[in-house]
Structure formats: structure tokens, C-alpha cells
Chains A and B, each alone.
Chain A
Amino acid sequence: GQSLEQPSEVTAVEGAIVQINCTYQTSGFYGLSWYQQHDGGAPTFLSYNALDGLEETGRFSSFLSRSDSYGYLLLQELQMKDSASYFCAVRDRTGGFKTIFGAGTRLFVKA
């Protein structure tokens, strides 16, 4: 089967760095994405990794290790507006390239 695991909640202070981990099990791994969702809002795409290594986009970076079936989202210089839920999602080529989402990590940023 397919499954993703990520922590349910993380708390950090403004200005700090936080890492949200995601481990996955899938038979036809194609890539790992991250999405951000604020309360009452729509999920918005943050990043995508198909190859091992680190992808950086401004304050956010995403890392993938295919051999470990593991990835993380790194948020630097945290701001209050970063308080949101963060979902990892695996694109799986089994059955026609489905995207399977994790349950999400709720990030609380404190002053």
C-alpha cells in the first residue's frame, strides 16, 4: 500500500528555523511535493523534489532522499504568517500518477 507519515504538530518561535519531516511508503515513487494551507484557505503548492538533494526557494527549502524514502521541508527566518498546516504529498506512478497526501503538520509560530 501507500502511506505517508509526518508529525501532527510543531511549534517554533519567530525568527527560528524549523524542519518538518515526511517519510513515505509507495511502490511507484515519482516525486515529493509540499503544500501549505492556512486556516480557511486552499492548499498552495510550495515545492517539488523528484531527485535527491535540496531545493531552495527563498526562505523555504525541501530535501529528498529516495534511498531513505524520506524528505523534509525547512522553513527559515520564521514569521507569524508561516503558522499553517504543511502537507507532504507523494506522486505515485502506480495507477496513472496519483498524488497521495499526508495528514499534515500544524505549525505554530510564537512571538
Chain B
Amino acid sequence: ETGVTQTPRHLVMGMTNKKSLKCEQHLGHNAMYWYKQSAKKPLELMFVYNFKEQTENNSVPSRFSPECPNSSHLFLHLHTLQPEDSALYLCASSQDGRNEQYFGPGTRLTVT
């Protein structure tokens, strides 16, 4: 238990669906991240929020839309996804200025 929770843990969606992934951290951190993890590939940073402000958008397609209403919660809104978007989506948090990131268990997403 790292203090970072993610829901749902598994999600299957069609290409025309709209769904959202949720992340919550109970560590008092002020930076939150979304990563995509595909088989045999490096963790890909998608978005970074510092103090609720988006500071990084790593050329992510617009079908992924992040939202950070406060420093404890982070959402990833999904719409019209493609089968190649199937992956493990990991949320992480850190204290600004500190190196170590704390990861949630991830959401295993399958797009059919």
C-alpha cells in the first residue's frame, strides 16, 4: 500500500465509449503524474500536475484529457480510444523537489 489509489483496477471499453480513470493520493504530495505502461516498453510519461497546474503534456493525443481538481485527486478522461491505447495506466505522486515517486496499482485498460 503506497498511499496512492486508483479506480477502476480493470476497464474494458469500446472505441466509442467515454470513461474516466481516477487517482487519489493520501500522502500530502503536490505533484501528480499519469504514465502509460505497455508491454516491453518504457514507462511513458503522459501528464504532470504541480500544485494543480498542468506543467507537462508529453504530446498525448487529445482523446486523453486530464483533470486535477485539487492536489489529492487526478482524473484521466477517455473518449474514442483506439485498440493501441490498451495498456496499464499508472498514477504517481511526489513531493515537489523530491525525487522519489509513489505509484498507484494502475488501471488495466483494454480497448475493443
Contacts and interface: CB of A to CB of B under 8 A. Distances in A.
Interface of A: 4, 8, 31, 33, 41-45, 48, 50, 87, 89, 91, 95-96, 98-104
A44 B92 CA distance: 10
Interface string B34-51: 000000111101001000
A48 B101 CA distance: 11
30 contacts: A4-B42, A8-B40, A31-B99, A41-B105, A42-B4, A42-B103, A42-B104, A42-B106, A43-B43, A43-B90, A43-B92, A44-B2, A44-B103, A48-B99, A48-B100, A50-B99, A87-B42, A87-B43, A91-B99, A95-B56, A96-B48, A99-B45, A99-B99, A99-B101, A100-B42, A101-B42, A101-B43, A103-B41, A103-B42, A104-B42
B interface residue count range (under 10 / 10 to 19 / 20 to 34 / 35 or more): 20 to 34
